[in-house]
Chains A and B, each alone.
Chain A
Amino acid sequence: MPSTTDLEQFLVTGLSLGGVYALSGVGMVVLYRATGVLYLAFGAVGAMGALIAWQLSHQDGWNIWLSFAVAILFGGVITLVYGIIFGPALAGRDPLVKATATLGLLLILLGVMDLLWPSSGGASRSLTMPTDNNTFQVGQISVTYTNVIALALGLVITVVTAAFLRFTKLGTAMRAMANDREITAALGVPVRRVEAAAWFGCGVLSGVAGVLLADLVALDSTSLTFLVISTLAATLVGRLRSIVVTFVAALVIGLITAELTPVSSLSNYRDMTPFVVAAIALLVLNRRRVIMVGRQGV
């Protein structure tokens, strides 16, 4: 059995991973509720943002924070452009079709990333934040400010988004659209503008998540792209609507994944955690069978 110190050290890793999964999950849930699109390209957009940040800061000598800002802005802009072009075109289609279409964006980005930053050649890239070096001790374990930022961002974004959806006019409009897009439009809500706001917000979060995960996990296009799976598992547990449940599930998935690292027999299989958690959640949550008839409120 691993020692307590090990578990405590990986507690930090797990919580910071969980924080990033949580902020990704919140972004995906908000976009899904507002537009009905499950944004499967979330990870790919973040990965490309992180690679751009690496290129600017480590190759072209830009200021690191400036390059992060570019990465985050890239996420927002590319997502917004996708949303403006394909959002209205697919608005009336099944959620499954909308989700599948985002796989098209995922493939395009994967191809572009491999063209621009080939993984062959053995030179592995890494994106490190300056906050990695600022550590402080909590008892036996050392914590970097990057860990703090990840968890704090996850928490803050969950709380702020929940408040935003509850108390602001734009948030109310998004919740209304989650119920029925056509009726919301008939009530005079500028549907396209609200959707654009959701797309941009989700894209910005994907940029943030990409930069943080590139630091915490690895800067590699494929693995960053498919880290979206962990986030998806969290949103599934939240039934694609509850932000709070998504947040908790994301923390749990991050924690389990990290805490399995020192357990030698399971260490190599820890990346299966999201699948196992989601499968169990689906089995427990969906014992009752629901069949939708006709038009569904997303």
Chain B
Amino acid sequence: MKTEASAPAAETAATSQGSALAAARAGRRLEPRSMVRPAVIAALLACVLLFVPSIFSLYYVDAWTQVAIYSIVTLGLGLLVGRVGMVSLGQGAVLAMGAWVSARLLFATGLPFPLVLLAGGLITMVLGTLVGLPALRMSGLYLALITLMLAGAITVVLQNINFPNGGHGFTGYNASTVHIPPIRRPAIAASDPAFFRYSVVVAILMFLLVLVHLRGRPGRAWAAIRQSEAASLAGGINTTLFKLWAFALASFITGIAGGLVAGSFRYLNSLTFSTADSITLLAVVLMGGAYSMTGAIVAAFLLKFLQALLNDWGVSPDWLTILFGIGVLQVLTTAPRGIVEQMPKDLARLGRLIRGLLGRPTTTRESAE
């Protein structure tokens, strides 16, 4: 027993002596692992792209398309909530703005779909940032409130100007149109399975865009702001700029998701988006886990796949709303990091419980975990 205990101590001493050697060894040990993770993710994504459309029925392919699209929205909101510490209650409204702008552009111009997505994202970014501007300089509670009001206000505007249906004028809405043309899809993604793949690719690009930001200077600035705004200001970080940046980035990717929503639904009306959506979005982001990018995917799954599943089983979606409400309270009181972090812990606990019940003696390594 004694020898076992002294062995790690000797190792520590050895590493502190030859620190350069240890660092090299650690680096070598880390490198394959850091290669493995992206490789696994890439393989998973390839499987998703290849097999999901052939395994699932069209109904569920559409559900997965919604999961892909909404994972962009939850990624943007998770970025605000988890990385910067700003709560926006108006992301549903921002998504609706993006969908409106893209639908308008798709009806008015013959621009290729990716360009429309980009333009929709940029315009949404400008609009969203302008609206959030008054609150960005204030404490988080004010931002949450002003964005909640924004959500209400945008709902009112969209109810009045309606979504474009191929009419003329600025709003592109013609109330007397009988045969409403569907919103255009990209030529390479006209069918539902193809549009699913298209959405997943766009979602991957958006995740990469956010990843680049998080790895770089903005990510470090956001982490500092989340810890303490005063300290990061004292440390020479332009906090207003970086908060604005985060808000703009979230609005941009949400706007792009809005374009995808327009393409996937093909017919939009003011009932497609409601004020409550913004709150549900925040609920699933918190439940999924706002601090990680995987959490965004879990959140989108909760929001859209469960919805499709319950609908398929004939269960009222109101139960889902109730579940999300309970989830918010549970996450905030007991598991602030959401399902992504809580699930493995709970599974490990469950595993230990089962092992305990089976009466198998737990080994030292397991108990250390």
Contact = CB atoms under 8 A, between A and B. Distances in A.
Interface in B118-148: 131, 134-135, 137-142, 144-146, 148
Contacts of A279: 131, 134, 146, 149
Given A90-B332, A104-B327, A282-B134, A236 B142 contact: yes
A258 B10 CA distance: 80
A104 B324 CA distance: 7
Contacts of B141: 38, 95-96, 99, 240
A25 interface: no
A226 B149 CA distance: 9
B101 interface: no
A272 B87 contact: no
Contacts of A65: none
A99 B142 CA distance: 11
Given A110-B321, A282-B135, A283-B134, A274 B152 contact: yes
Interface stretch (A15-23, A136-144, A183-191, A287-295): A287-295
A222 interface: yes
Contact of A111 (B157, B230, B318, B332): B318
A59 B171 CA distance: 44
Contacts of B323: 111
Interface string A254-271: 000000000000001101
Nearest to A105: B325
Given A96-B144, A236-B142, A101 B160 contact: no
Given A114-B318, A272-B156, A86 B144 contact: no
A99 B323 CA distance: 18
A118 to B, nearest CB: 8
B283 A104 contact: yes
A104 B332 CA distance: 10
Interface in B82-101: 87, 89
A224 interface: no
Nearest to B322: A111
Contact of B318 (A40, A115, A268, A291): A115
Contacts of A278: 145-146, 149
Main secondary structure of the interface of A (DSSP, over half): helix
B363 interface: no
A272 B134 contact: no
A100 to B, nearest CB: 6
A110, A111, A225, A226 pick with most chain B CB within 10 angstroms: A111
B228 to A, nearest CB: 8
Main secondary structure of the interface of B (DSSP, over half): helix
B139 A292 contact: yes
Interface in B206-243: 228-230, 233
A89 B333 contact: yes
A26 interface: no
Contacts of A293: 228, 230
Contact of B328 (A93, A103, A115): A103
Contacts of A93: 332
A104 B329 contact: yes
B325 A232 contact: no
B149 A275 contact: yes
B328 A289 contact: no
B234 to A, nearest CB: 10
B279 A96 contact: no
Contacts of B308: none
Contact of B325 (A95, A107, A222): A107
A107 B328 contact: yes
A232 B160 contact: no
B299 interface: no
A100 B274 contact: no
A112 interface: yes
Contact of A97 (B149, B228, B332): B332
A39 to B, nearest CB: 12
Nearest to B320: A111
Given A99-B144, A236-B142, A291-B229, 11 more contacts: A86-B333, A97-B332, A100-B87, A101-B333, A104-B327, A106-B325, A114-B316, A114-B321, A232-B149, A272-B157, A278-B149
5 contacts: A101-B333, A108-B325, A272-B157, A283-B134, A290-B139
The list of the 10 closest CB pairs from A to B, nearest first, reads: A107-B325, A104-B328, A108-B325, A111-B321, A111-B322, A104-B329, A275-B153, A275-B149, A111-B318, A114-B318
